[in-house]
Structure 1
Amino acid sequence: MNATVETLAPGAKNARGPIPMQVTVKGRVDASRRHENTRYTRILTPAPDAYSRPQTVEIRSKQKLGDLGEEITVLAQLGGYTRKAFRSTDKDTGETTMVTPVDLTLDAIE
């Protein structure tokens, strides 16, 4: 199987669509906190329809992204890491498997 790899400079526009591992988050600033030199901004996104819940995400950044209650749009880099694996047992079959949780991160592209 052959795969093509396309490299783009950081922040470059891709004529064929979104840049891999980058997302645009649009929503209202719900909370903001600072730890050491990093700011963490919790954003509440609009619900897709009247019967769905809004999504909540947290974006790390070096500077303030917006004031409390302000509507913002942020371009962010998607990342993640694995946490400690744990053993899980299926209640119906009794089968035991190892589960490795994955946490996703969003870093503002500044």
Structure 2
Amino acid sequence: MNAAVQNLPTTGKAPAPMEVLIKGRIEASRRHDGTRYTRILTPAPDAYSRPQVLEVRSKQSLGQSGDEISVTARLGGFTRKAFRATDKETGEVTMVTPVDLTLDAVE
């Protein structure tokens, strides 16, 4: 349980707060109200796990379907409407506030 933490390779420059580097293949993209939404499939970490699927918003096209890309994105998010949830084991009722994350390409 106390596994050693691996150090990630450094590039000499510290990442900006709230920014992430995304590498993957473009699955699809769509345009809505002047914003481009690009769905990216990331490589699976190993042969037994699933790849992650992300959507990045941008002003410009990030590429064509099937292109391998690297893009820096700013992480954001917002809360949605709260709802009541009941614990099936205890019967306790709690309020749950869902949070949606967003990724906006740094352009």
CA–CA distance in 1 between the matches of 2:90 and 2:30? 44
> Which residue of 2 is the match for residue 58 of structure 1?
55
For the aligned residues, what is the CA RMSD? Answer: 1.4
Within a 5 Å distance, the mapping from 1:1-110 to structure 2 comes to: 15=13, 17-110=14-107
Shift of 1:27: 0.1
CA–CA distance in 2 between the matches of 1:101 and 1:50? 31
The list of structure 1 runs, each at least 4 consecutive aligned residues, that deviate by more than 3 angstroms after superposition, is none
Shift of 1:19: 1.5
1:56-88 per-residue CA deviation (whole Å, 9 max, x = no partner) reads 000000000010000000000000000000000
Shift of 1:20: 1.2
CA–CA distance in 2 between the matches of 1:64 and 1:18? 24
TM-score if structure 1 supplies the norm length? 0.85
CA–CA distance in 2 between the matches of 1:100 and 1:88? 10
Shift of 1:36: 1.4
SS in structure 2 of the partner of residue 43 of structure 1:
strand
Listed as ranges, the gaps of 5+ residues in structure 1 are 1-13
Aligned residue type for 1:91: K
Aligned residue type for 2:51: P
TM-score if structure 2 supplies the norm length? 0.87
Number of residue pairs matched by the alignment: 97
Shift of 1:104: 0.1
Shift of 1:38: 0.2
